[in-house]
Amino acid sequence: MKICDILKEKFTISFEFFPPKTREGEENLFNTINDLLTFNKDFNPDFVSITFGAGGTTKDKTFEITKKIKDKYNLTILEHFTCYGLSKKDIETYLKRIKDIGIENILALRGDKPRNIEDFVPPPDTLNYASELVEFIKNIDKSFCIGVAGYPEGHPKAPSLEKDIEYLKLKLDKGASFVITQLFFDNNDFYRYIELVRKKGIEAPIIPGILPIISWTNLERFTQLSGAKLPQKIYEDLYPHKDDKDYIIKYGIEFSIKQIEDLIEFGIPGIHIFTLNKSYSSKMILKEILKKI
């Protein structure tokens, strides 16, 4: 089913997974999915997304995991796709592969240079921007439902938040239908973002991305990678307990519940939870959130 259509009908709850590198990691992923699909008999995610490595480095593994999840669970899947580092022929071939197994939804992203390949050189016809990828996909096959990324605090490489919103509008004008945001911890940043976005005439559904805090190390890593700020209160609350795993997880669950409750009251169209291929925090959060919707 197309996510564009689901968003017209209901509040959506969705999960992000990443393709594991080992057999043990794959077993853990499917245990996580099983757990999230069975903890509440009345709940099923509206869609799940599978990430795609920089420069196409995980494209075969992403495809393999996507096919296994689709075959086993028949879930609606949002396939991440990063264009930078791939040739137009590579992109067209991959789009055909996922279309052949029934994937209708793509999260179109620029992507970055692979961090572990120092001499990486992209092909001369690689696409340099997500807006170019959206346009390229639509020129190949208009039937794909395309989502794009939004950045409530501005993309780290954008000259300003306002300029970043102009880039968002371009992606939507080229054919994207909905937005999933980067993680954030201060809802006021999201509300300000929505205000600015709507002033630009952007009416597409914007789904906030939620990262449950599960460890201090992960929190540091993801805020650094994403450019999302860590509010002073969270730092003060967690840093003295940074080595206490149980404390961090409990805090993270309680924080995400409050964050999502506030977002629901604001009027968001759904939530997208970055699971990190772990089920416990997401499950505990949803046990409370499902009572509110």
The pLDDT score that the predictor gives to residue 167 is 97
Distance between CA 267 and CA 281 in Å, rounded?
23
**In the prediction, which pLDDT does 118 show?**
65
Nearest to 8 by CA among 177, 148, 202, 135: 177
Query: What's the confidence (pLDDT) of residue 55?
Result: 56
What's residue 127's pLDDT?
A: 93
Q: pLDDT of 202-246, one tens digit each?
A: 999 999 999 999 999 999 999 988 889 999 999 999 999 999 999
DSSP string, 191-227: HHHHHHHHHTT--S-EEEEE-----HHHHHHHHHHH-
Q: Which residue has the tokens 């991959």?
A: 94
What is the model's pLDDT at position 61? 87
pLDDT at 177: 98
Indicate the pTM of the whole model: 0.95
Q: Can you give the pLDDT at residue 9?
A: 96
| Alpha carbon distance 65, 119 (integer Å) | 28
Give the residue numbers marked as catalytic.
Answer: 16
pLDDT in tens, 51-68: 987 655 677 889 999 999
pLDDT for residue 56: 58
Mean pLDDT of the chain: 94
Choose which CATH entry (3.40.50.740, 1.10.1040.10, 3.20.20.220, 3.90.1150.10) describes domain 3-289: 3.20.20.220
At residue 109, φ and ψ (nearest 5 deg) are -130, 155
Q: Helices (H), strands (E): how many in the chain?
A: 11, 8
CB 153 within 8 A of CB 125: no
Low-confidence ranges of the chain (pLDDT < 50): none
Which residues have CB under 8 Å from 163's CB, separation 6+? none
Domains of the chain, by residue range, sit at 3-289
Going along 19-144, which residue ranges are E strands?
A: 47-50, 77-82, 105-109
Per-residue pLDDT at 60: 85
Sign of CA dihedral 173, 155, 14, 81: positive
Its sign, for the CA torsion 270, 273, 279, 283, is: negative
